[in-house]
Amino acid sequence: MTKCEYFTDDEIKETLLNNLDEYEGIEDYTFDDVFNDLFNSDYYIIGYKEAVDALEEYGIFNALEEVQRWDEDNFGHWETDYTNTEAVANMLEYIHASEYMNDMLDRAGLDMSDETTPENVNKLIKTLKEY
């Protein structure tokens, strides 16, 4: 069995570490804004073939179950178009990134509504490097 290269904490961590410095000290900017920029403003996977490959590697039924559970918890019904592999793959990455970022912020004593002050950004970077 091959190691899954998609939807990993290491990949999310790398994205955060490679980009957090750009947000340091932006006035009235929060970690929620950072999350939106990095994980919700662009597609994680573009192309149906790559999406199918990623979901097969991850486990299609596991992915569908996670997305369905998240949609139902947040919208009360299944919102994501499960017939669109790109939509499922991108939503799965969004969910994983949200869970990971919230966990790391919590470990740093921060949350999504905190501003990206130099002190807060450095706390998060330090926490990311520790875990």
Each residue of 68-78: pLDDT tens digit?
999 999 999 99
Helix (H, G, I), strand (E, B) or coil at 33: helix
In a domain, 71, yes or no: yes
In a domain, 1, yes or no: no
| Cα 73 from Cα 84, distance rounded (Å) | 21
In a domain, 4, yes or no: no
In a domain, 101, yes or no: yes
In a domain, 3, yes or no: no
**Average pLDDT of span 49-61:** 96
Any idea which residue has 């570490």 for tokens? Answer: 17
Helix (H, G, I), strand (E, B) or coil at 59: coil
Q: How many domains does the chain have?
A: 1
In a domain, 96, yes or no: yes
| Cα 92 from Cα 68, distance rounded (Å) | 10
In a domain, 67, yes or no: yes
Parent domain of 87: 9-130
In a domain, 112, yes or no: yes
* C-alpha torsion 17→18→23→29, nearest 10: -60
Distinct helix (H) and strand (E) counts, the chain: 6, 0
Q: What percent of the chain has pLDDT over 70?
A: 97
> Using an 8 Å Cβ cutoff, are 57 and 6 in contact?
yes
Residue 5 pLDDT level (bands cut at 50, 70, 90)? confident
In this prediction, residue 84 carries a pLDDT of: 97
In this prediction, residue 88 carries a pLDDT of: 98
Q: What percent of the chain has pLDDT over 90?
A: 96
Residue 80 pLDDT > 80: yes
